[in-house]
């Protein structure tokens, strides 16, 4: 779904003010991925850097899948009564999770994960020198899992071709975990620095941070901190502008009838009585999308 004209005008104003864009979700649905693509594309078009969109999206999707997988693993551990921070039999538990968890329909998992407090949050910051993306979730991970991830990223950043991945991970014959390694290779091919991909765990959140410089003058967040710089990426604005520094996409909700995740502008949290009177055999009068409602209205 493309960004409509009215919202583009608001986004352009937000870009001029240096506002960040934050996308909130619970599961990694196609709708969420499409939103991430559209907003990142918009940012890169604004700075005339759309040539880096394909490899950037490839890596971002891989990171989103990893964040979502961590949420699902945490949910599985809760179901089993296991401590998600315990390293006991991590290898065996991971194999069981991979075998038994159904990733085929993320929307079916939404209510379960939402009740457990799971989130996926993507934050896009931008300037004329580059963009940075943060992908966060609330899933706790073991020290063993962190070590494995650190080793994987370190190896992936050193690869010259994909054959090296299979040499390091011969048990992954189908290449199920190859996405990040492939995207990092694509980054290298167009001259982007894969070392600006890092992750951290702080205040209960597990965060992947990807920084994409547009030129050699780009300074990473770590470098700015080491230099004791003011890390605000943009010029200072008025307090009113600072208070509204986030551009949030339209709220989305799930229809009780069809199960689609839809924009709230075509969603009825409560259908007015006069409309209900015109609808034939309407199964729900709350939380219904316009597509479904139109099918029940009498002609």
Helix (H, G, I), strand (E, B) or coil at 37: helix
Percent composition of the chain: helix, strand, coil (DSSP 3-state, to 5): 45, 20, 35
Residue 205's pLDDT band (cuts 50, 70, 90)? confident
Question: Domain coordinates of the chain in residue numbers?
Answer: 1-237, 252-296
pLDDT, tens digit (0-9, with 9 covering 90-100), for 254-289: 888 888 777 777 788 888 888 888 887 888 888 888
Given a cut of 90, whether residue 129 has pLDDT beyond it is: no
Beta strand 246-247 with 20-25: parallel, antiparallel or unpaired? Answer: parallel
Given a cut of 90, whether residue 134 has pLDDT beyond it is: yes
Helix (H, G, I), strand (E, B) or coil at 191: coil
pLDDT, tens digit (0-9, with 9 covering 90-100), for 83-119: 888 777 677 888 899 889 998 899 999 999 999 999 9
| Calpha distance 260→30 (Å, rounded) | 11
Beta strand 246-247 with 261-263: parallel, antiparallel or unpaired? Answer: unpaired
Given a cut of 90, whether residue 121 has pLDDT beyond it is: yes
| Calpha distance 36→34 (Å, rounded) | 5
Whether 70 contacts 137, CB under 8 Å: yes
Q: What percent of the chain has pLDDT over 90?
A: 23
- Report CA-CA distances (Å) from 297 to 177, 225, 293: 48, 59, 7
Residue 224's pLDDT band (cuts 50, 70, 90)? very low
pLDDT, tens digit (0-9, with 9 covering 90-100), for 138-160: 888 888 888 888 899 899 989 98
pLDDT at residue 6, rounded to an integer: 60
Eight-state DSSP code of residue 107: G
Whether 85 contacts 140, CB under 8 Å: yes
> Packing angle between helix 30-46 and helix 5-16, nearest 10 degrees?
60
Beta strand 20-25 with 205-213: parallel, antiparallel or unpaired? Answer: unpaired
| Mean pLDDT score of the chain | 81
Q: Is 29 left (phi over 0), alpha (psi -120 to 50) or beta?
A: beta
Across residues 7-17, what is the average pLDDT?
79
pLDDT at residue 216, rounded to an integer: 56
Give the residue among 183, 196, 166 at the shortest CA–CA distance from 66. Answer: 183
pLDDT, tens digit (0-9, with 9 covering 90-100), for 42-92: 889 888 988 889 888 988 999 999 999 999 999 999 999 988 887 776 778
Burial of 231 (0-12, 13-18, 19+ CB in 10 A): exposed
Helix (H, G, I), strand (E, B) or coil at 132: strand
């Amino acid at each position: 779904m493309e960004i409509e004209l009215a919202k583009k005008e608001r986004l352009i104003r937000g870009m001029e003010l240096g506002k960040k864009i934050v996308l909130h979700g619970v599961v990694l649905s196609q709708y969420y991925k499409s939103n991430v693509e559209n907003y990142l594309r918009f940012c890169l078009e604004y700075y005339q850097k759309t040539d880096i969109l394909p490899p950037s999206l490839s890596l971002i999707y891989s990171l989103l899948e990893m964040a979502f997988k961590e949420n699902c693993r945490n949910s599985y551990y809760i179901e089993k009564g296991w401590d998600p921070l315990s390293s006991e039999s991590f290898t065996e538990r991971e194999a069981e999770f991979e075998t038994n968890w159904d990733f085929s329909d993320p929307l079916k998992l939404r209510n379960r994960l939402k009740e457990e407090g799971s989130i996926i949050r993507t934050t896009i910051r931008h300037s004329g020198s580059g963009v940075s993306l943060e992908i966060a979730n609330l899933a706790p991970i073991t020290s063993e899992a962190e070590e494995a991830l650190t080793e994987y990223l370190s190896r992936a950043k050193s690869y010259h071709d994909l054959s090296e991945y299979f040499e390091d991970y011969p048990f992954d014959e189908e290449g199920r975990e190859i996405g990040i390694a492939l995207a990092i290779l694509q980054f290298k091919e167009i001259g982007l620095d894969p070392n600006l991909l890092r992750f951290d765990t702080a205040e209960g959140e597990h965060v992947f941070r990807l920084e994409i410089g547009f030129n050699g003058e780009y300074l990473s967040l770590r470098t700015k901190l080491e230099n004791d710089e003011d890390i605000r990426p943009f010029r200072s604005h008025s307090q009113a502008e600072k208070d509204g520094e986030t551009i949030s996409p339209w709220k989305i909700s799930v229809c009780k009838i069809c199960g689609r995740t839809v924009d709230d502008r075509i969603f009825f949290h409560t259908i007015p009585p006069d409309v209900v009177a015109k609808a034939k055999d309407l199964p729900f009068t709350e939380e219904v999308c316009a597509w479904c409602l139109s099918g029940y209205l009498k002609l």
